[in-house]
A = this chain, B = another copy of it.
Amino acid sequence: MWLVENAVAIAREPLKHVQVREYVRDLVSDAEPGTPAPSERELVQVFGVARMTVRQAMDTLVAEGLLERIPGRGTFVAKPRNEVGRLLSYTGEMQRRGLHAESQTILARREQAGPGVARALELTEGDAVIHWKRLRRADGQPMCVEDAYLNEVLLPGFLQSGMPTSLYQALAMRGLRPTWAEDSITADVPTAEEAQSLEIALGTPVLRVARRAVADDRVVEVSRSVYRSDRFTLYVQLGDS
C-alpha cells in the first residue's frame, strides 16, 4: 500500500519545500505586516537546499497572501487581507475576534467509519477514522462543542504523537493544510449534553455548523460544531461569478 509508505515518509522527512514553507510560516505567523522575511539565499544556506526549492516554498506563501515580494528589496509579511469568509481554524477565528482560544478534549480515539462519516470523508464504511471531540473556549468561557472526524490514513500516528493544540497546524505539518471548506449552517436548540457543556439553558438557540474541509483535493476533516449564539456570529463573504 503505497499510501501508507508515502505517509510515513512524509511524517519522517517532509518534502523539503514543505519544511521550508512551514518554517517560514511559523516565523511569520506572529509578525507585524511589513516585517522582512528571511531572504531566499539565506534560507538556501540554513536548509542546504537549492534556491528553486526555497522559491517553491515562498511561492505558496505569496499565493496565500501571507507574504509579499518586492523586487530588489526583499520579501515581507503582507498585511492581512481583511477578508471575512476566509477559511480559518477555530484558533484563527477567535484571534480575529480578539479572543483567546482554548480547547479541552472530550474524546479522542480511533474508530471505524460509520456510513455517514465514510461518505463525507470519501472513505469506505469500516475504514479507520480519528474521532476527536472538543469543548472550545474563548476567553475562558465555553463557545462551541466540536465533533470532528479525520481521515486516519492521512494522519498516521496522530493520536500517539501527542495531541496538538491546533488541528489545522498539525495538518499543515503533513502538507494537508485545508484550502477550502463547505459549511452548512442552521439554527437549533442544544441537546441536554451540549447545553451542559456550553453552560447554557435548554431551549437557548444555538448555531450548528457542519463542515467538510478539503486539502489537496482530499477530504481531511468533517465536523459538526454547535456554537453558543449569544457569543458567536458567523461572518461569510459571497462572491459573484
Contacts and interface: CB of A to CB of B under 8 A. Distances in A.
Given A205-B188, A241-B64, A183 B86 contact: no
Contacts of A178: 240
Contacts of A179: 239-240
B187 A229 contact: yes
A59 B241 CA distance: 13
A186 B229 contact: yes
Interface string A180-198: 1111111111000000000
A237 B205 contact: no
B52 A240 contact: no
A232 interface: yes
A63 B60 CA distance: 10
Interface in A55-99: 59, 63-66, 81, 84-87
Q: Report the copy number of this chain in the oligomer.
A: 2
A206 B187 contact: yes
A183 B239 CA distance: 11
A189 B230 CA distance: 11
A180 B229 contact: no
Contacts of A187: 187-188, 205-207, 227, 229
B87 A183 contact: no
A240 B176 CA distance: 13
A179 B233 CA distance: 23
A238 interface: yes
Contacts of A85: 182, 236, 238-239
14 contacts: A81-B241, A85-B182, A85-B236, A179-B239, A180-B240, A181-B238, A185-B207, A185-B234, A185-B236, A186-B229, A186-B233, A187-B207, A187-B229, A203-B203
Given A81-B241, A185-B235, 11 more contacts: A63-B241, A86-B241, A179-B239, A180-B238, A182-B235, A184-B234, A185-B236, A186-B229, A186-B234, A187-B188, A236-B236
